[in-house]
Amino acid sequence: MSINMKLCGNRSLFDLKTSIESGAEYIGVVFADSKRQVDPEELAEWLKQIQFEKNQKLVGVFVNPTIGELDGVMKNIDLDVIQLHGYEDIAHVLNIKERFGCTIWKAIHHTDSSVELMHLYKGVIDGYVVDAKSKEAWGGTGKQFDWKAVPRYIKEAEMQGVPCFIAGGVNPENIFELASLKPHGIDVSSGIESEGKKDVNKIEEIMRRSKHVSHIS
């Protein structure tokens, strides 16, 4: 089984180049208010200077965006995936899908009722990203949730026929443990950074280990 990797939180031209050159399937950028937030116009200039590898996809992360906010980004940037990381309801998600026609992922924060929440989005969402719940931020906190729950999330996603990515506190040291649970994808951000930017060595190591697990499983 091949595990797709999403390298998220790219906030500079250097970060983007480093993540793209790793061969990761998904490259993530954050438009929501956070320490990794990027400016759409600046990102558009960076994208002119780099070339994505075949089949690589660009993911934009938003928190409770309005249609107008999404319009402002999409006029400059051709996102493959819109990842919604807030409290977006089903009606709003459907409006976004109708307006932009691209793949929509929904972030679900790990709680006792998260699987039930996923079930509510059945038939509406094209994929899930399960992340640790935090009062400090919507994501990218480096916090890990109890991975014993991962199989339940995978099962629900498979019943819906969509992928499930696992995020939150993933790094080169613990990726073997997570990958052994066989999620469809792994989403990593802070675990591949040093001093506020993407770390080439950490990215190379996490990619090597993820592909090794994919190969033997």
CA 71, CA 80: separation in Å to the nearest integer? 14
Confidence (pLDDT) at 137: 47
Q: What are the tokens at 87?
A: 């409290």
Placement of tokens 């059945």 in the chain: 122
Instruction: Name the CA radius of gyration of the chain, rounded.
Output: 16
**pTM of the predicted structure, to 2 decimals:** 0.93
Q: Which helix (H) or strand (E) holds 16?
A: helix 13-21
C-alpha pair distances (Å), 199 with each of 23, 86, 100: 15, 28, 33
Q: Helix or strand or coil: residue 194?
A: strand
Name which of 205, 196, 132 is nearest 169 in CA terms.
132
What does the chain come to in residues?
A: 217
Q: Helix or strand or coil: residue 205?
A: helix
Structure confidence at residue 106 as a pLDDT band (50, 70, 90): very high
Confidence (pLDDT) at 65: 97
Q: Is the pLDDT of residue 107 over 90?
A: yes
CA 22, CA 189: separation in Å to the nearest integer? 14
Q: Is the pLDDT of residue 136 over 50?
A: yes
Average pLDDT over every residue of 116-123: 96
CA 166, CA 156: separation in Å to the nearest integer? 13
CA 161, CA 153: separation in Å to the nearest integer? 12
Name which of 161, 166, 87, 173 is nearest 124 in CA terms.
161
Q: Is the pLDDT of residue 199 over 80?
A: yes
Placement of tokens 């899908």 in the chain: 97
Sign of the CA dihedral 49, 55, 61, 64?
positive
Q: Which residue has the higher pLDDT, 21 or 141?
A: 21
Sign of the CA dihedral 197, 53, 175, 64?
positive
Q: Residues with Cβ < 8 Å from 80, sequence gap 6 or more? A: 57, 58, 59, 102, 103
Contact 136, 155 (CB under 8 A): no
Q: Helix or strand or coil: residue 97?
A: helix
- State the chain's maximal CA–CA distance in angstroms: 46
CA 105, CA 162: separation in Å to the nearest integer? 10
Confidence (pLDDT) at 186: 98
Confidence (pLDDT) at 198: 97
Q: Is the pLDDT of residue 180 over 70?
A: yes
Domains along the chain with CATH numbers:
4-216 (3.20.20.70)
